[in-house]
Structure 1
Amino acid sequence: MAFTVVYISFSIVLSAYLIGNMTALIVKGSRTERFRDRMTDLIRYMNRNRLGSAIRSQVKDHLMLQYESSYTRDRVIVDDIPVAVRSKMSQTLYLDMVSRVGLFRGCSDDFLSQIVLKLHEEFFLPGEVILEQGTVVDQIYIVAHGCLVLFFTETRDF
């Protein structure tokens, strides 16, 4: 009876070890593992720099949004495509939307094609601050889906 107890215990431990290693091999290099590694690195970075809980929450939420959406995968996939083909894809996806923006009305098709080629998608969580007054920017944001709410904290006479 003692031999049977030792034998069964050894079998259970060995089975658990083998299943764990097989699972680790299957998951190795997967999107989920890369997400976990990236989240761990970000948490270490935020701990090292003593960032507040509000910014921690925003960073984690944004990373979860990227993980749950196809945003990151799509960018990596499209980056491997030649520029000429990528240009045609961008025109098909975004040219109509960009041509409807008031700022670009009356612009030539060649100019719009160049704008569309440089365009990339960004996703923002509800309630997230995109720009603050006084911030120097080097980008133009076009809202394609959702809505944008403007908040003015102070008024100035110009």
Structure 2
Amino acid sequence: MEAIKMADYVHEIRKLVGHRPIILNTAAGILVNENGEVLLNERVDTHNWSLPGGYLEYGETYAQACVREYEEDSGVKVAIKARIDIFDVGDVHYPNGDVTQTISGLFLVEQVGGQLLQSKTDETLSLAYFPFNELPPLLNQQTADMLAAADKFMNARK
């Protein structure tokens, strides 16, 4: 099945439902540097921080979306090392009035190419690594829950 571009898909849904809450699927990755810090992206839309990732395109798997979205948001090409968990509690209130409950697949990833973006994009203001115990203002509680689960997951693997 051919993937439908998510921006078009979400736009079509929003034409039908307006700003009413909807459920969408997302995927995100945890990339940790040699200092044990996690890469986060500062978002253009909300001006807070989240994990590189985003909405699945129609017909795409969580893992495929994670790899694609990670590169779009950060410039870094990644490969999936492990699936951490699925997160389905929490919502996002966007500045334009849209409300979305996201069901997010979270993966531990490793860098296999690319490099960090050096300039702003339409989704990312900046990128930075942060210690798990010194995080900046996050997008929502689900992002905080994902980071806590990733920290616990990686500590259990040591």
- TM-score bucket (shorter structure): under 0.3
Structure with higher RCO (Cα < 8 A, 6+ apart): 2
Larger radius of gyration: 1
Structure holding more helix per residue: 1
Q: Give the TM-score of the pair, scaled to structure 1.
A: 0.20
Q: Give the TM-score of the pair, scaled to structure 2.
A: 0.20
Structure holding more strand per residue: 2
